[in-house]
Structure formats: structure tokens, C-alpha cells
Structure 1
Amino acid sequence: MGKIRVTNIQVYAYHGCLVEEGKIGSDYRVDVEVSANLQPSAISDNLQDTVDYVLINRIVKDEMAIRSKLLEHVAQRIINRIFNEVSIANAATVEVSKINPPIGGNVEMVTIEISQTRN
């Protein structure tokens, strides 16, 4: 078993419950960790035998481009796509952070984290 992490994917998106968030947008940070059997790729040196982090980055950017009210919804869509498109993925954790959220205070970011194991 092994893990591949794609850390600090920076995206500008339009998530949130407020109407203004859908118009103005905000900066987001996404971190993804995928657990999989990495032994075959360690032996073969073949991209098809591992978790392609370019694909993970594309999944994140695609799903972040679809507006949602809740960050949890976006994170779950990312996990669903990982399990649909990365056959060797056994588990995934996705953190979505909204940078400088509009909550009436000086807050660096708000982060949600969802972890799931393949059924």
C-alpha cells in the first residue's frame, strides 16, 4: 500500500451560499491524498500502474469549476470521480479550503475534509 498526495492545488471558484459568492468568487486550496497499491508501479516504472497526479489535478479543477453551495458537496464529487477514474484507488481524502471566507472576521481559511474508502 502507498499514498500519493497532491497538495495545495490553487483554484479560483464560485462556491458558497451567499449570492455574492457566486458573483465575486474566491480563492480555494485543495489537497488530495489517494491510497493505492503502488508496488506494481514501483516495479514496472509504468504510469498506467500508478495514480496519475496529472489526472488528480484535472479532476479537482473540473469539479471546482462547478458551483456548489457547500464545500462538502464539491469534495464528495472529487472523491466520486477519483473512484470512477482511478481503478487502483482504495481510499481518498480530500480537503477543500476557502481562503479568506466572508464570515465577518479575520480568518485565514475554512477547511472541510472528507475521507472515504472504496466499497
Structure 2
Amino acid sequence: MTTTIEINRLRLYAFHGVLPREREVGNEFEVTLHLECDMTEAMTCDRLDGTVSYADVIELVKAEMAVPSQLLEHVAWRIKSAVERDLPKVTGGYIKVAKLRPPVTAQLESAAVTLKWNNNG
């Protein structure tokens, strides 16, 4: 049985962007993750070690967001790689990294990159 752990719209201040000024002054970002995993043990036995701790996920995201990158694609890939490395129960998922105030001459809510993967096929 596959269930999903969700972290929705985690807000962080970080220093990602192509322009040097973006990496100097930073910007607000939102990160959303939906991580698929087998949590049968957690559901049937009420055991913490049978699930993925959302607190651990948040700490992984914070660590990767603290490393400046030019591209949101690179940030999303690094978060995915950290999840796969440190959370072996995760079998796939969805990560969205959104820059809330991109340096463009238009009004918009955000600019974002979404990465989806599935290790089961």
C-alpha cells in the first residue's frame, strides 16, 4: 500500500538565481513535496519507524535550500537526491520549488519547477 507524506508550501529565504544580485540579496521560495512510501507498518502498528518523519524531510529541504544555485531545476534535483539518499522508504514523489518574486517585468504569483519521479518503474 502506498501513501503520501506531504509538505505543502514550506517558505524559506534562499539565494538562488542566474543573476548575481539574486545570489547576493536572496528571495522568498516555497517548496512543496509529496513523497510516496509504504507506511503499512505505521498505519497498522502506530510505529514512528514505519513512516517518514515530516520533520526530517523539512530539515533535508532546509539544508539543500541553503546551498545557492543558479537554477531551480538544480535545487529540485538536489532535494530529490537528498530524499533518496537519506529516506529509503520513499519510492517516488513530487517536488515543486517556487520563487515568489522572480526578477521579471510582469506580475505573477511565482515561477516554479516541478520534478516528479517513481522508483518503481
Using the size of structure 2 for normalisation, the TM-score is: 0.94
Aligned length: 119
The whole-number CA distance in structure 1 between the counterparts of 2:119 and 2:91 is 5
The whole-number CA distance in structure 2 between the counterparts of 1:92 and 1:81 is 13
Q: CA deviation at 1:109?
A: 0.4
Q: Match for residue 103 of structure 1?
A: 104
The whole-number CA distance in structure 1 between the counterparts of 2:21 and 2:52 is 37
Q: Match for residue 58 of structure 2?
A: 57
SS at match of 1:69: coil
Amino acid at match of 2:54: Y
Q: CA deviation at 1:24?
A: 0.9
CA contact (8 A) 1:2 1:37 kept: yes
Q: CA deviation at 1:118?
A: 2.3
Amino acid at match of 1:5: E
The whole-number CA distance in structure 2 between the counterparts of 1:50 and 1:13 is 29
Q: Match for residue 11 of structure 1?
A: 12
Percent identical? 29
CA contact (8 A) 1:83 1:118 kept: no
Which residues of structure 1 form unaligned runs of 5+? none
Q: Match for residue 91 of structure 2?
A: 90
Which residues of structure 2 form unaligned runs of 5+? none
1:75 pairs with 2:67: no
Runs of 4+ off more than 2 Å? none
Q: CA deviation at 1:46?
A: 1.3
Amino acid at match of 1:70: L
The whole-number CA distance in structure 1 between the counterparts of 2:115 and 2:81 is 11
Q: Match for residue 47 of structure 2?
A: 46
